[in-house]
Amino acid sequence: MDRTDEKSFSCVVNGEYTVLTGADTTPAIVALRAHGLFSVRETCGIGVCGTCTVLLDGEPVSACILPLYALDGRTVQTAEGLEEGGELSDLQQQFIASQAFQCSFCTPGFLMSGQALLDGTDGPLDDEAIEDGLQGHLCRCGCYAAIKEAVRECSAARTCSRAGARG
Ligand code: FES
Ligand code: FES
């Protein structure tokens, strides 16, 4: 990249005002990793595997094909932003409980799409909704059943605790 092409883009990343630098067309994954967000991982680099998924204004997107200019003025969440107060999120904890990974390379991407699914509904998620929400993610270790179970269990547990709180 020619230095003269370099620009600054302001966005909120994991709740913090952030300035990322690069050319308009620099892939977002490059700028996010340069910012130390190494959960954003590249496998295919062409938008078909889901490994690099981040949430842009709450929607899952592939950071490997997302141009940096698209982040300007937007809110970005990566797996580093899932934990709260130093505690793993409910979904992260359920991934561990369900043994939903082997090598874990695909895990951050699945977590982000799983979190978007959970954020998009109050009720328990059925198999079809989970299948739809996780389509486009590949796991070379073949952990699909456990990953889906983790999202399903997390949605069910969350609904129980909310119902309990109301009661
Ligand atoms: S690395 Fe981005 S979709 Fe595969
Ligand atoms: S756990 Fe290895 S690629 Fe998914």
Three-class SS of the chain: CCHHHCEEEEEEECCEEEEEEECCCCEHHHHHHHCCCCCCCCCCCCCCCCCCEEEECCEEEECCCCEHHHHCCCEEECHHHCCECCECCHHHHHHHHCCCCCCCCCHHHHHHHHHHHHHCCCCCCCHHHHHHHHCCCCCCCCCHHHHHHHHHHHHHHHHHHHHHHHC
Q: Which domains does the chain have, with CATH numbers?
A: 3-81 (3.10.20.30), 90-166 (1.10.150.120)
Q: How far is the CA of 143 from the centre of ligand 2 (A)?
A: 7
**Residue from 38, 39, 40, 51 whose mutation best tests the ligand 1 pocket (most atoms within 8 A of CB):** 51
| pLDDT of the chain, 167 residues: tens digit per residue | 566 689 999 999 999 999 999 999 999 999 999 999 999 999 999 999 999 999 999 999 999 999 999 999 999 999 999 998 899 999 999 999 999 999 999 999 999 999 999 999 888 999 999 999 999 999 999 999 999 999 999 999 975 443 333 32
